[in-house]
């Protein structure tokens, strides 16, 4: 009997330890333990309705009372639900037929098999409760940054533990190239998804998700926290380069300058965290042509032709700007496509000067260079380009004085008259 009692008490002790380590509230603790007792009693007697179970987790003990109805001697049909009058009067000598007798019972009296069943039921419920607690703790936190201790590195993922000892997973595919974590170090990542397959929760972290960079920018830039600047979109090649499109709701605030900070002070820490990933901050616009032009920076774009239906863009640049638009290993154009949502093709614009035509650059001795620059700005690169445009249109488009336009036309016409 002493051994059985000790086994029963150990059940309470183990549950109390679980409560301390998993931070289970008192109400849940009492409910789960009572549920386990009732489950075992119901399996033994077919019903637990006539039992009162009192759990005291603070003291680590419990009491079980069975309630039975008094019936005349010889008429007991269900010993679990009924008690004979003579047996009832052994408890109290004034019981009458029809009254209810409540007696405390020792769970160990149910037998070792019942205790084993209780252990198994309790272990199962504890595991379920642990999983539910973990899932509920993280299910609404997707997109948040967490800091956790590196516990173990495996080939395909890294296991981290949060402050409460919960397991978090950082897959290798969600790590930045160059990431290397030692056991005991603290790693930062964003919660990217919370899975709960067959009641088995998995908290998946990421350092490559654009949300990781966004949360860090929000923490570093007060204007974003205050709602004065919004981040419209982020495209990343983790560990290499990223482009961030931002917009200011206050005309007095330069969104790009505010995000970068003086001499890049606001992004330095983020760049270090991201293993040297360069960050280009771009002013967002709803004009797709202008957005593509900005996204391809630092290249200078001459023109953009869009195919809205197929989400394609043809971009024309001077030959010396093509390599800048494409970028090292194609990173710049790839990020620009990700940021704008357009497939971008770049084309070199080569001046096509006919044999009987002359480039405007050949007239620098007779025409001021700034005038030639103004003509080039409106797409006129040769003498015949200029001569084919009506005089009045030249005045308006190039924003030149009439006398200046007349002098330019006189010089160009003379070239062909000769």
**Closest CA relative to residue 296, chosen from 238, 347, 232:** 347
On whether the CB atoms of residues 73 and 85 are closer than 8 A, the answer is yes
Same domain, 130 and 8: yes
Residue 144 and residue 382: Cα distance in Å, rounded?
58
Number of residues that make up the chain = 418
User: Of 348, 369, 386, which residue constitutes the final position of a domain?
Assistant: 348
Residue 335 and residue 341: Cα distance in Å, rounded?
10
Region 212-223 average pLDDT:
95
User: Each residue of 224-276: pLDDT tens digit?
Assistant: 999 999 999 999 999 999 999 999 999 899 999 999 999 899 999 999 999 99
Percent of the chain scoring above 70 in pLDDT: 91
Same domain, 242 and 321: yes
381: pLDDT strictly greater than 70: yes
Task: Report the DSSP beta bridge partners of residue 230.
Answer: 247
Whether 301 is in a domain gets the answer yes
Own/partner pairs, 109-116, CB within 8 angstroms, 24+ separation: 109/4, 110/40, 110/41, 110/44, 112/4, 112/7, 114/40, 114/44, 115/4, 115/7, 115/8, 115/11
User: Each residue of 170-217: pLDDT tens digit?
Assistant: 999 999 998 999 999 999 999 999 999 888 899 999 999 999 999 999
Same domain, 324 and 296: yes
Same domain, 224 and 293: yes
152: pLDDT strictly greater than 50: yes
Global pTM exceeds 0.75? no
CATH number reported for the structural domain that contains residue 159 in this entry: 2.40.50.140
Whether 354 is in a domain gets the answer no
User: Of 325, 348, 371, which residue constitutes the final position of a domain?
Assistant: 348
Whether 353 is in a domain gets the answer no
2: pLDDT strictly greater than 50: no
For residue 319, the surrounding DSSP H or E stretch is helix 319-326
Q: Report pLDDT for 6.
A: 53
Q: Which of 118-122, 216-220, 404-408 has the highest mean pLDDT?
A: 216-220
Q: Report pLDDT for 4.
A: 47
Q: Report pLDDT for 15.
A: 54
Same domain, 257 and 306: yes
User: Each residue of 236-245: pLDDT tens digit?
Assistant: 999 999 999 9
Same domain, 343 and 216: yes
Region 20-47 average pLDDT:
77
User: Each residue of 59-99: pLDDT tens digit?
Assistant: 667 888 999 999 999 999 988 899 999 999 988 989 999 99
Instruction: Pick 69 or 393 by higher pLDDT.
Output: 69
Residue 187 and residue 273: Cα distance in Å, rounded?
10
Same domain, 169 and 220: no
**Closest CA relative to residue 256, chosen from 282, 235, 236, 287:** 282
User: Each residue of 348-371: pLDDT tens digit?
Assistant: 876 554 557 788 888 888 898 889
Quote the domain boundaries for residue 338: 211-348
Same domain, 131 and 146: no
Same domain, 296 and 395: no
Total number of domains constituting the chain: 4
Percent of the chain scoring above 90 in pLDDT: 53
CATH number reported for the structural domain that contains residue 275 in this entry: 3.30.300.20
- What pairing do the DSSP bridges indicate for beta strands 145-153 and 82-84? unpaired
Whether 227 is in a domain gets the answer yes
Same domain, 336 and 379: no
16: pLDDT strictly greater than 80: no
Same domain, 113 and 199: no
Q: Report pLDDT for 19.
A: 52
Q: Report pLDDT for 328.
A: 87
Alpha-carbon distances of 392 from 213, 372, 388, rounded to whole Å = 53, 17, 12
User: Of 136, 157, 187, which residue constitutes the final position of a domain?
Assistant: 136
Q: Report pLDDT for 216.
A: 96
3: pLDDT strictly greater than 50: no
């Amino acid at each position: 009997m002493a051994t059985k009692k000790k086994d029963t008490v150990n059940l309470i002790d183990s549950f109390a330890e679980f409560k301390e380590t998993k931070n289970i509230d008192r109400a849940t603790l009492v409910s789960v333990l009572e549920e386990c007792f009732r489950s075992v009693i119901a399996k033994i007697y077919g019903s637990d309705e006539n039992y009162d179970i009192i759990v005291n987790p603070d003291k680590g003990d419990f009491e079980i009372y069975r309630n039975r109805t008094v019936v005349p001697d010889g008429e007991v049909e269900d010993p679990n639900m009924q008690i004979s009058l003579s047996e009832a009067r052994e408890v109290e000598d004034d019981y009458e037929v029809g009254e209810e007798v409540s007696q405390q019972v020792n769970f160990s009296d149910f037998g070792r098999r019942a205790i084993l069943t209780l252990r198994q039921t309790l272990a199962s419920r504890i595991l379920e409760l642990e999983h539910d607690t973990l899932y509920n703790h993280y299910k609404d936190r997707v997109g948040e940054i967490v800091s956790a201790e590196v516990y173990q590195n495996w080939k395909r993922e890294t296991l981290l533990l949060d402050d409460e000892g919960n397991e978090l997973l950082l897959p290798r595919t969600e790590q930045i190239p160059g990431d290397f974590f030692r056991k005991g170090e603290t790693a930062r990542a964003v919660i990217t998804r919370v899975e709960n397959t067959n009641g088995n929760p998995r908290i998946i972290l990421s350092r490559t998700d654009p949300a990781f960079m966004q949360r860090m920018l929000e923490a570093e830039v007060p204007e974003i926290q205050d709602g004065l600047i919004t981040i419209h979109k982020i495209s990343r090649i983790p560990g290499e380069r990223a482009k961030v499109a931002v917009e200011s709701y206050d005309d007095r605030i330069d969104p790009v300058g505010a995000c970068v900070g003086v001499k890049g002070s606001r992004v330095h820490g983020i760049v270090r965290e991201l293993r040297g990933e360069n960050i280009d901050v771009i002013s967002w616009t709803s004009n797709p042509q202008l957005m593509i032009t900005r996204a391809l920076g630092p290249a200078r774009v001459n023109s953009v032709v869009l195919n809205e239906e197929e989400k394609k863009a043809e971009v024309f640049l001077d030959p010396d700007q093509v390599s800048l638009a494409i970028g090292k290993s194609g990173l710049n154009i790839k990020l620009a496509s990700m940021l704008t949502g357009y497939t971008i093709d770049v084309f070199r614009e080569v001046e096509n000067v006919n044999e009987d035509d002359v480039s405007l650059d050949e007239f620098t001795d007779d025409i001021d260079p700034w005038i030639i620059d103004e003509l080039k700005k409106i797409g006129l690169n040769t003498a015949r380009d200029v001569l084919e445009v009506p005089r009045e249109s030249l005045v308006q488009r190039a924003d030149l004085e009439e006398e200046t336009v007349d002098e330019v036309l006189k010089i160009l016409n003379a070239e062909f008259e000769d």
